[in-house]
A and B are shown apart, each in its own frame.
Chain A
């Protein structure tokens, strides 16, 4: 179900030049809504992490923002490669980032746990060869 506000941000693999623009636009919209500083801060961190995940780990995908009167929903859906062991990936310090990404300071293995910590609701489903879907929810009140 789409929210009253619905925005889509397609992201391609290793497209570092656009990385961060989706989270910047999401923050702008939330500022226009007058969302509280606390929610703002958590959405900022989580949206940036999930956007960079698409760029670093995925074979391309889309980040979507949906805003409802009572909540913000972020969904990241990619076209692969999929995570073989989701439970392992959720552990702090675990990372599969390649050399190029690590050289840029990414891949500390904090991404997924950090998203989960900042969101009020977090779901992840993944299938190797198909893709990964991450759903995050933030309550506005």
Chain B
């Protein structure tokens, strides 16, 4: 049985059945049925667009509460560099790292250090021959899932190297066990996450058998807990810190600047990512070397589980990075690191056939024929009143037996008019 875990969920008690999320979902994964939103598991990529748009806060991201770190004898925090961007005017990451220890973690390991290792690994890979053009970043799990659903032909272009949080977790666990002389299973590694897509990637990894992480706590919750501590912190000078390049992975452009500054394109915001992936699929960007796509505007700082405005956070991170030494991961990360820790995916990323109408191609073709016929009759308003995002998806839902034609209020109106007309005719017939 395939695991259907999703971090993005619906809080039914808050849902009014409006069409806001319906219209915004990039994979057409939401329907309104019986006056409430429904998320189609197979199509949802956990991007969090619906969380952002819902005025009633009926869409939520399920992550671990801070409490859960107590399940382990030891807990290590792995903050996404986005966390630094939450503190306006922060000059050095050490303050945040030290404060994380004050709120209950036994140790801290920057995910930005994982980003440094991943940067090096991708750069090494790009030096070898026969690399697809463009190579597509695998860092944003929502974008990778988008490719699985909408652009399966681009899967061979997705870089087969793990996300920074996974590499960081392997390093963190090993370092902690060496330091404290404890067993790996006694250590819980918790990602401090800006988004639900990372949470889903931990529970249901895309290209790994099992995640190296044990859970994820939101940046938002951690921010509240850190705030009282951070102002009175003294930085511990012993921290091994990530480079400015690793930290910059939190913002759009940061990854491509680190990995392939000579020829890369970075795109943020899921509708924009879709437009660029269309271009790649049409063969228009065969001369491009590296493509960085972020589901959230501004990059991870724009994640739905962050507190600070994404543009402000971007400035905070860039200012901090700018004041750091110019060391590049190429020099900073020892080559042995790439062999010491697992940096490669365990398995290939498979296409997601959620868009397929039927596993039998003939039946699928008949369904498309039916959709074409229905499209002739449907009004093309894409109003969403039927509960499907567009007239075309409504037609798909009809052929898949999930709706009836009369769920369209416009067709219904026509039908009522026709029936009324018929009744008038009948009434007149009686008078004669």
Contacts and interface: CB of A to CB of B under 8 A. Distances in A.
Interface of A: 4-5, 7, 20, 23-24, 27-29, 31-34, 37-38, 40-41, 44-45, 48-49, 67, 69, 114, 140
A4 B365 contact: yes
A27 B361 contact: no
B368 A29 contact: yes
B214 to A, nearest CB: 34
Contacts of B3: none
A37 B368 contact: no
Nearest to A47: B282
Q: Which are the 8 A-B pairs with shortest beta-carbon distances?
A: A34-B356, A45-B283, A41-B153, A48-B282, A40-B153, A4-B365, A37-B153, A31-B355
B368 A32 contact: yes
Interface string B139-164: 00000000000101111100000000
B283 A32 contact: no
A33 B365 contact: yes
Contact of B278 (A20, A33, A38): A20
Contact of A44 (B153, B155, B357, B367): B153
Nearest to A38: B153
A54 to B, nearest CB: 15
A34 B282 contact: no
Contacts of B155: 37
B284 interface: yes
A7 B351 CA distance: 26
Given A32-B368, A44-B281, 10 more contacts: A4-B369, A32-B356, A34-B358, A37-B155, A37-B156, A41-B154, A44-B153, A44-B283, A48-B283, A69-B365
Contacts of B153: 37-38, 40-41, 44
Interface string B341-359: 0000000000101011111
Contacts of B367: 32
B411 to A, nearest CB: 22
B359 to A, nearest CB: 7
B366 interface: yes
B1 interface: no
A20 B282 contact: yes
A4 B153 CA distance: 24
Contacts of A69: 361-362, 365
A23 B153 CA distance: 14
A31 B282 contact: no
Give the interface centre of B153, B284, B351, B367 by most chain A CB atoms within 10 Å.
B153
B355 A32 contact: yes
Nearest to A4: B365
Nearest to A141: B361
A32 B364 contact: yes
A34 B281 contact: no
Nearest to A42: B153
A39 to B, nearest CB: 9
Interface of B: 150, 152-156, 278, 281-284, 351, 353, 355-359, 361-362, 364-369, 372, 396
Given A31-B356, A33-B356, A33-B368, A114 B152 contact: no
Contacts of A34: 353, 356-359, 361, 364
15 contacts: A4-B366, A24-B278, A28-B355, A31-B150, A31-B152, A32-B355, A33-B356, A34-B356, A37-B155, A37-B156, A38-B153, A40-B153, A48-B284, A67-B368, A69-B361
Given A31-B355, A32-B357, A33-B356, A5 B278 contact: no
A27 B154 CA distance: 13
Nearest to A40: B153
A67 B365 CA distance: 8
B281 A41 contact: yes
Contacts of B357: 32-34
A40 B369 contact: no
B362 to A, nearest CB: 6
Give the interface centre of B355, B365, B367 by most chain A CB atoms within 10 Å.
B365
Given A31-B355, A34-B359, A40-B152, A23 B365 contact: no
A34 B369 CA distance: 15
Contacts of B156: 37
A48 B279 CA distance: 10
A140 B113 CA distance: 46
B356 A5 contact: no
B283 A33 contact: no
Contact of B152 (A29, A37, A140): A37
Contacts of A4: 362, 365-366, 369
A23 B279 CA distance: 11
A34 B156 CA distance: 17
A44 B365 contact: no
Given A33-B361, A40-B153, A5 B368 contact: yes
Contact of B281 (A27, A114, A140): A27
Contacts of A29: 368
Contacts of B152: 31, 37, 40
A34 B282 CA distance: 18
Nearest to B284: A48
Contacts of A20: 278, 282
Contacts of A27: 281
